[in-house]
Each structure stands twice: as C-alpha cells, then as structure tokens.
Amino acid sequence: MAKKDYKKLSDDIIAACGGVDNILSASHCMTRLRMNLKDASVLDVEEAKKIPGVINIVVQNGEQQFVIGQDVASLYEEIIKNDIKAAGSVDDAEALKADTQVKGNVIEGILSYVGGTFSPVIPVFIAGGLTGAVISLLQTFAGLDASNGTVVVLTAIQQAMLYFLPIYIGFSSATRLKSNPYLGAFLGAILIYVTQNRPETLSFLGIPVANIGYNGQIFPVILGTLFMSVVYRFLQNHLPVVLRTVLLPVLTMLITVPVTLIVLGPLGYWVGTGLANAVLAIYRAFPALAVAIIGATTVWLVFFGMNNATYPVLFLLLAEVGSDPLICTGMAPANVAVGGACLAYALLQKDPDKKGVGISSGITALSGITEPGVYGVLFPNRYPLIGAMVGGAVGGFIAGLFGLTQYVIANPGLISFAAYFNPDGTWGNFWGMMGVMVLAIVVGFAVTYFLGKKQENKA
C-alpha cells in the first residue's frame, strides 16, 4: 500500500475549504479532521469526498468533519503548518462571531458540544483505563499486591485519569466553546481543591455551599465552563482594552466560581445522578434488550458523529457500579461486527480496490475503530450495514443476558481484551466477552455474505 502524501492531502483539503483565509480553526479527534470555516458554502461536500485519502465528510453543527482514519494526526500536523489556528483560539473576532451564530437545531448543537468536548480527551481515558487493566493482570498473574512499587506507579496513572477528570473536561469544554481553555482547567482544579479541602460546613457571603465531591464528575464542570464562557465573552467585549490583561481572568473566575459552587455544580451533580439512576433502571429492567439496542445502533451513532456523546453516561456507570455493563459492552460486539461485515464484503468483491478497502476497514474495525468501515463500506453498500447491525444486536443481547461488562475505559474491540478481566481474578467475564465478540463477527460476516450473494444474483 502506497504511503499517504499528507502534504498533498492537506493542500487539497485546504483548497476545497476555500483556502487558508476561509478557515477559522482546525482540530482533530481519533479519525476526523474538524474544520471551522468562515463561509461554509464554499465547500462542495460531494466534490471534496472525491479527494484521495478522504473517506467521507460529515457536516455537524456548522463544523466540517473530514473522516480520514487513525492517521489523522499526521494530516493535522501538515494542516497547521499553514498558519491555521488550533480550535479554541479566542483572539479572532470573526471566529467568536461565527461561533455565536445559531447552527443547526438545539439537540444537534448539544450533541456536537458534548462530543467535541470528549473527543480530545479520549487518549487520556484510554491510557488510564487500560493501565487499570494492566494492574489487574499483574496482580492476577504476577502476584503483585497494592503496596508493590510498580503497582503504586501504575495506579497513579489509572487513578489520575478519573480523579482529575474535571480539569481535562474543563480545558476541553472551554476550548470547544472558544473561551479560555486554561481558565476552564482552572475551574476544574478549583472544584477538586474545594472537594479535598472544604470544612464541614461551607458558605460564600453567607450562602451555603453544597457538600459535594467533584472528583470524577462531568456535568458540574461542563455547566460551569458554559457559564464561564458567557462571562468571559461579556467581559472581553465590555472591559477597556488596557485593563483586559489583568481584570478579564480575575473577574471571570470571581463571578464563575461562586455561581458554580452554589448553583451549577449541585445542579450538574443532581442531573448526573438522576441520569445515572434512569440508565441503570432501564438496564436492570431489560438488560439484554438495552445492550442489544446499543449493539444495533452504534454504527448509526458513529455515522452521525454522536458516539462520543455517550461518554457522560459511561462515566456515570463507572461511578455508580464500578464498570460499564451497557455502553462499551454493547459497542464491543457492534464494532467487531462491522469488522466481520467488511471482511465478508471484501470476500464478495472482484475489484481489487474494493477488496482492499473491505479488508483494511475490517481489520481496523476489529481493533475498535469503525469509521473507515462505516463510511467506506457499510453505508455506501447497505447490505453490510444490515449485517453489522444484526451482528451487534445479537452480541449485545447475549452480553446483556449474561450480565457481562467492561471494567475500564478502552476502545471496545478485540485489541482491548484486557479491559474485560475482572479485577477479582475470575475469568468468566473475559471469556464471555470474547465469545460474544466472536459471535458478533460470525453473525455480521454471515448475514453480510448471504445478503451480498443474494444481491449479486439479482443483478
């Protein structure tokens, strides 16, 4: 396979976007290059999809998302060499103006905001989560206990991911809102500090402050940074330029922190707790059906760029039950079923290029990254989409029926096998999830192959 020319791909994408002057900012997640344009009408989406190296283009809440694959970071490095700003810069008046315009409907905007907030933080989640799995393996197979120096260091990596979560989310959320990301991180740090150092009773100007632990919490800092961004922009627009350097950050935090601690933090905590209870109630009432629905619909979440919007629920489940028996547990068979469907599609193809796309997308999907398969195989051809959905639903149903779970955050798929080891050293959950994923692959492959053969016979 020829090595990608990222310089040419970068030039082609920039040209399709109307040149450097039409690009407000650029960012990327695990597989997508995300572009914000001054004039989005310049981009001819259908023509841009034909650029070699571009798998698909998703336009979501005014953002142009070029689906590239796992090597998107290499393309991004070429993109920003053209003096294109990273998303989150706040010194461009046009960028701020464009960001405040209403784009799409409210639900789309919320999902885009949540997904855009969590996407950049995914590497932290994966690093911390899989380190937890490594600890379980060391304790099970090497006999190391919690006092062992190696385990202590690895535990620091694992625990810091959740403990300081408000800082990462504060930074990413403020970046997404094109506010000051360092003040967003600062707000998250303040919530953690107050949690660890508060007296038994706390008040601000005589107003009681709720006794809440914000470590590992999501919604309080998200609401706080939303409010902070409004305060920041208001002050930025109304403070004299000569006073902004000193007064803008201090006034922003003096207003934001009390409001967050007194109102928004407790509100976010109660919302998160209520959502967690609701999700758990549905799962406990209909576990097999709930996980099967996740397994069947994950490809659609990926297609519409909404898969990262599930992270709040995932963290709520981790906080409440110590593992994720629903989201990642349903996504694991869904992802590998995409792999099975893509491999069946490849087997049916006579065209070497299409066969190559199917094989590469299938292998990538088995590792937990499904965008190339979803955009390059499933939706353009339809019958692999049905195969993947059936495989994901069957695997999810069995996983829910037997109460299987994923213990740490990791890309759901075969490559993250360590995430399914039970910390108590038992093997049932691991072998159960391996069996579920193998079943999903087989069903996804078989249904796709059957439907593909049927379609060929009609042609």
pTM: 0.73
Query: Do residues 299 and 374 make contact, with C-beta atoms less than 8 angstroms apart?
Result: yes
DSSP secondary structure code for residue 42 in this structure: G
Locate the domains of the chain by residue range.
6-90, 164-283, 286-458
- Name which of 172, 169, 167 is nearest 195 in CA terms: 167
- Name which of 217, 210, 172, 158 is nearest 192 in CA terms: 217
What are the tokens at 262? 């007194």
What does the DSSP assignment read for 72-85? HHHHHHHHGGGSPP
CA-CA distance, 192 to 215, in Å (whole number)?
6
Query: Do residues 219 and 272 make contact, with C-beta atoms less than 8 angstroms apart?
Result: yes
What pLDDT sits at residue 335? 95
What are the tokens at 355? 């066969």
**What's domain 6-90's superfamily in CATH?**
Glucose permease domain IIB (3.30.1360.60)
Query: Do residues 355 and 344 make contact, with C-beta atoms less than 8 angstroms apart?
Result: no
Mean pLDDT for back-to-back runs of 10 residues, the chain (459 residues): 78 92 83 86 88 84 80 87 65 43 57 76 83 81 83 90 91 89 96 88 90 87 95 92 90 96 93 85 92 94 77 82 90 95 94 86 87 87 94 96 90 86 88 97 96 78
**One-letter-per-residue 3-state SS of 307-359:** HHHHHHHHHHHHHHHCCECCHHHHHHHHHHHHHHHHHHHHHHCCCHHHHHHHH
What pLDDT sits at residue 14? 92
What are the tokens at 287? 């576990």
Pairing of strands 56-60, 63-67: antiparallel
What pLDDT sits at residue 111? 65
CA-CA distance, 58 to 113, in Å (whole number)?
15
- The alpha carbon torsion through 403, 407, 412, 413 (nearest 10 deg) reads -80
What pLDDT sits at residue 96? 42
User: What residue has token string 């407790």?
Assistant: 266
